[in-house]
Amino acid sequence: MGVIALTRAVSPAMDRCELSHMERTPIDVGRAGRQHDAYERVLRELGCRVVCVPPAADQPDSVFVEDTAVVVDEVAVIARPGAEARRGEVDAVATVLADFRPLRVIEPPGTLDGGDVLTVGRTLWVGVSRRTNPDGAAQLQRILEPLGYEVIPVPVDGCLHLKTAVTAVADDTVLVNGRWVDATVFSGRTVIETDPAEPFAANVLRVGDRVVAPMAHRRTRERLERRGIRVVAVDVSELARAEGGVTCCSVLLSAGVEGAAGVEGVAGGP
């Protein structure tokens, strides 16, 4: 089964991005665009069909398309970003996703950023963070548990999203910065710690049997390679200045399970 990767171009207004845990430093938007092009090329080389959401020049963070949706085989859940300035990003993504999946929607007062959702098989860990509130996590649970998914809320502290602190590098293995998330919630799985000198290195993107990881985090890459994990390095240094990593710039979904069936919310459900 193939993989579709939704992406969205870098906005010329990216230097007005949201920032929570990082100092603002000048962003070379042209260079960010070239890095994003190279990222899309890598996804294609790894076998993804890249589908571009129409660009949003006036939405500084729109390249970080991951935050706008959570997609499983049965449905696409349209997120409600915790940063108010980002809420306008979701409509265009929903329009594209409607071609591939029935849509569900996170409704007020819930907030949820896709960057807070780590999916491995039929388990989803949801970071409760400054962006995703308990109501947003509970709505995701109400949407997905009837479909046979287990949804596990996890407190996140000190970083932007759950996936800033942890991602999966194999079905049974997670890459974790234990300073930002309690690694014991992944018990039963192998835990690889990021190199202490590379706190942002836990954000890697698994595509098939490869892991896409930022070039800047050499020591953590070497840790992964020593465990037999095949890593493809990409330069995302300008995107990182906007507090973005490699998962943020795409939404991956399995191809071949498409079906569209309208929109349905869950607020106020049982």
Contact residues for ligand CIR (CB under 6 A)? 17-18, 20, 61, 64, 66-67, 83, 86, 115, 160-161, 242-245, 247-248
Of residues 159, 161, 217, 249, which has the active-site annotation? 161
Q: Please state the closest distance from residue 86 (CB atom) to ligand CIR, in A.
A: 6
**Measured from the CB atom, is 67 or 184 closer to ligand CIR?**
67
**Measured from the CB atom, is 85 or 190 closer to ligand CIR?**
85
Q: Greatest CA separation found in the chain?
A: 48
Q: Which residue is nearest to ligand CIR (CB)?
A: 115
Angle at 152 between CA 151 and CA 155, to 5 degrees: 140
Q: Are 167 and 202 in contact (CB under 8 A)?
A: yes
**Measured from the CB atom, is 102 or 198 closer to ligand CIR?**
198
Q: Please state the closest distance from residue 88 (CB atom) to ligand CIR, in A.
A: 13
Q: Please state the closest distance from residue 42 (CB atom) to ligand CIR, in A.
A: 18
Alpha-carbon distance 200 to 37, whole Å?
22
Using alpha carbons, list the distances in angstroms from residue 23 to 15, 18, 130, 208, 241.
12, 11, 17, 34, 8
**Measured from the CB atom, is 238 or 243 closer to ligand CIR?**
243
Q: Please state the closest distance from residue 18 (CB atom) to ligand CIR, in A.
A: 3
Give Cβ neighbours of residue 37 (< 8 Å, ≥ 6 apart): none
Known catalytic residue at 36: no
28-36's contacts with Cβ under 8 Å and 24+ in sequence apart are 28/238, 29/238, 31/238, 32/63, 32/238, 32/239, 32/242, 33/9, 35/234, 35/235, 35/236, 35/237, 35/238, 35/239, 36/7, 36/9, 36/10, 36/63, 36/239, 36/249
Known catalytic residue at 52: no
Q: Please state the closest distance from residue 258 (CB atom) to ligand CIR, in A.
A: 24
**Measured from the CB atom, is 132 or 139 closer to ligand CIR?**
132
Of residues 17, 48, 248, 249, which has the active-site annotation? 248
Catalytic (active-site) positions: 161, 248
